Structure 1
Amino acid sequence: MGEPVAVGLVGAGPWAERVHAPVFAAGPQTRLAAVWARRPDAAQRLAERYDAVACTEYDDLLDRCEAVVFAVAPEAQPALAERAAQAGKAVLLEKPVADNLDAARRLADAIGEAGVGSIVTLSARFAPQVRVFLDKVAEDSAGSAWAGARLTCVTGAFLGGPFAASPWRQARGALLDVGPHAFDLVSAALGDVVDLRADGAGAGWTSLQLVHTGGAVSQLVLCCTAEAGHRYDVELYGSAGSTRLDLSEAIDESAFAVLREEFAGLVRSGGDHPLDVRRGVYLQELIAQAEHQLAART
């Protein structure tokens, strides 16, 4: 094994503290070299915990790392990630990749022009159980196509806990936060989305019906303001029968170990990843369609 990839972490909030900092500090494929955040005191505390350098200037972080991991709000990510790409750094992006479609497309263009690698943190897709599930779905569909799917994500994440005070989550709701995961999973299972209908009740609850290439139909229910009855699962139906996966159990520490390994491999070997910024733009397009429909109904 060669030298671990020197990673710079942008952000020092709950996700950076709970996930990205410990994951990329753990190695062996990576080491946490530097931390920068808009709150220098938070960056200092997080960096000290992992023997990393707390940077007061973003350019200083770029000088100290080979790749940049982002844990910032969607409105802040595009400009920072563009600068990282222009500096020749591979980027690990948060979902959604931006707070609007135009910014997402500009970011994808900048990363493409820079020729650096990118991955979007669609955490479920790195979970071994999810990969086995999707592989089995693909094998079964070769002989008998799946007719539809249902994905339910009902949590109380916006009512309390580390992400409840997030302004963008409170303003834009579950669609912007967990929507990328939901769109990604059902389109990975059933094919690209060719038609979409969205209904909802404010930012608290969203229901979507999607038509996929080949004619399969999926239904998504997204809510992060439920006081009880929490669930996060996906189920497919068709002539092959039905198959279900509890995503709340499938996504664990092993998913982030796979993410770390694949991001380090991308940095060292170059090339593309199927979950790169272009995938992020595709998901942003679906979010934009859904938000447009919801706004038209208010």
Structure 2
Amino acid sequence: MEPVAVGLIGAGPWAEMAHAPMLARGPHTRLAGVWARRPESAARLGAPVFERVEELFDACEAVAFCVPPAVQAELGVRAARAGKALLLEKPLADSLEGARRLAGVVAETGVPTQMVLTLRYAAGTRDFLTRCAEIDPFGGHAANVSGSLMGDHPFATPWRLERGALLDVGPHVIDLLGAALGPITGVRAHGDPLTWVGLLLEHEGGAVSEASLCQAGVGELPPPSFAVYGRKGTAVLPHDDDDPLAVIAEEFARTVRQGGGHPLDAAHGLRLQEIIAEAESQVRTP
């Protein structure tokens, strides 16, 4: 399979740590170039730097995003209309309106899309979901507690500091609970996304789950946890060192080259955004 030429939009810490090396290492993708609002940051990523985003589009067949959600929503529309496949970060946008617009343009243009929901590409997670399907699940819980909004943490970026855990880690947690217990049909939320927010999720088929999200922790904190309980047993997500990035790149390349879509596409990202928007409407947000 010919490597997919991918242009990268964004040059922040996560782009430097994950996206750029993932796309550059191959063999399924190659990093065709970078565009960022700060060219000096883009120059560190070891690929051609483009002054105009349209020039990046001309140099690639697909575009990966590592920018704030509002920027992804805006430039994702432009990339889709330029006919480029999209490798999208979570959340899809900063607002439900933006997510609907981006997903609508994707549907209109028919470009391939895939969401970087990193948990879903890890081997341990896939084994966990296989186990969930075997135990006839009726409930589960998840907790994601960190200090990533505190001090000089590299991910304490303006949009995260404004919107908190619900918009940042919420997509990961909601997505995985939905995959484990069935599509989510309802959500109830309480708390404050900037400190602690709790979710009660209702799933198709009658299962229920609970999630606790926090990015304002201090001191020694536990790793994220997921557990699902069923009539035939229990499934617990292991804590391992799976690196999902190679799998993300390979699956994206196959989505681009072979067609047929990907289950974690922009339409899936929109469904997650709808759940988050409903939860945000029930708790204190700016």
Question: Which range, TM-score by smaller chain?
Answer: over 0.9
1:251-290 paired onto structure 2 within 5 Å: 252-253=242-243, 255-290=244-279
- Find out whether 1:59 has 2:49 as its counterpart: no
> What is the Cα deviation at residue 69 of structure 1?
0.4
CA distance in 2, matches of 1:175, 1:223: 8
- Find out whether 1:181 has 2:172 as its counterpart: yes
- Find out whether 1:72 has 2:67 as its counterpart: yes
Change (3 A) 1:117 1:27: same
| 8 A contact 2:135–2:231 mirrored in 1 | no
> What is the Cα deviation at residue 252 of structure 1?
3.2
Question: So what's the TM-score if we normalise by structure 2?
Answer: 0.96
1:204-215 paired onto structure 2 within 5 Å: 204-215=195-206
1:1-298 paired onto structure 2 within 5 Å: 2-46=1-45, 49=46, 52-141=47-136, 146-159=137-150, 160-164=152-156, 166-227=157-218, 228-246=220-238, 249-250=239-240, 252-253=242-243, 255-295=244-284
Change (3 A) 1:202 1:187: closer
CA distance in 2, matches of 1:251, 1:105: 35
Note the alpha carbon deviations across 1:62-102, whole angstroms, 9 max, x for none: 00001000000001111101111111110000100000001
Question: So what's the TM-score if we normalise by structure 1?
Answer: 0.92
> What is the Cα deviation at residue 241 of structure 1?
2.6
> What is the Cα deviation at residue 157 of structure 1?
1.3
> What is the Cα deviation at residue 231 of structure 1?
2.1
Note the alpha carbon deviations across 1:166-211, whole angstroms, 9 max, x for none: 0010110000000000110001111112221101135121111111
| 8 A contact 2:63–2:84 mirrored in 1 | yes
> What is the Cα deviation at residue 115 of structure 1?
1.1
| 8 A contact 1:149–1:219 mirrored in 2 | yes
| 8 A contact 1:127–1:250 mirrored in 2 | no
CA distance in 2, matches of 1:280, 1:41: 31
| 8 A contact 2:202–2:208 mirrored in 1 | yes
Change (3 A) 1:251 1:294: farther
After TM superposition, the structure 1 stretch with the greater mean CA deviation from structure 2, 234-243 or 280-289, is 234-243
Which runs of no fewer than 5 residues in structure 1 stay unpaired?
A: none
CA distance in 1, matches of 2:89, 2:264: 12
Secondary structure, counterpart of 1:225 in structure 2? coil
Secondary structure, counterpart of 1:75 in structure 2? helix
CA distance in 2, matches of 1:36, 1:181: 26
CA distance in 2, matches of 1:35, 1:71: 11
Amino acid paired to 1:239: R
CA RMSD of aligned residues (A): 1.4
CA distance in 1, matches of 2:195, 2:71: 23
CA distance in 2, matches of 1:7, 1:243: 37
Note the alpha carbon deviations across 1:238-286, whole angstroms, 9 max, x for none: 222322114xx34632x11111000001111122110000000000001
Secondary structure, counterpart of 2:69 in structure 1? coil
Which runs of no fewer than 5 residues in structure 2 stay unpaired?
A: none
| 8 A contact 1:93–1:118 mirrored in 2 | yes
Change (3 A) 1:276 1:202: closer
Amino acid paired to 1:190: L
Amino acid paired to 1:278: A
Amino acid paired to 2:192: A
> Alignment length, in residue pairs?
284
> What is the Cα deviation at residue 126 of structure 1?
0.6
CA distance in 1, matches of 2:163, 2:145: 16
Secondary structure, counterpart of 2:159 in structure 1? helix
